[in-house]
Amino acid sequence: MNLAKSGSDEKEYSTLAGEIDLMRERMQRLKGQQTERVLRVKQVRELTDYLLAQKTTLIKFDEDGFRRVVEKVKVRSMVEVAFVFKAGIEVREILW
């Protein structure tokens, strides 16, 4: 009878160990997602601060400002592009 209980205990231990591993993996993913969110919030604040700090009206293309806030430009088609800001925001533009 002790052997059956011992085998049962091993099975239960193995099951619990597997669940603990799954929980650790989930915790790591959640920590990564939280870190990503904190980074995005920081980037949005930096973008907002930069835009609010501009004292003059933009009258010509500002390459430095553009590079500072835009991460990449995606060309979707001949008439559509998407600007991906460093803060993670994506804005689509249709050109006519």
Q: How is the chain split into domains, by residue range? A: 1-53, 57-96
CA distances (Å), origin 20, targets 7, 25, 28, 52, 87: 20, 9, 12, 48, 35
Please state whether the predicted TM-score (pTM) of the whole model is above 0.85. no
* Residue type at position 62: D
Contact 92, 82 (CB under 8 A): yes
Q: How far apart are CA 18 and CA 37, in angstroms?
A: 29
CA-CA-CA-CA dihedral for 70, 73, 74, 80, to nearest 10: 110
- Tens-digit pLDDT profile for the chain (96 aa)? 444 567 788 899 999 999 999 999 999 999 999 998 998 888 888 878 888 888 888 788 889 888 988 999 999 999 999 999 888 889 999 987
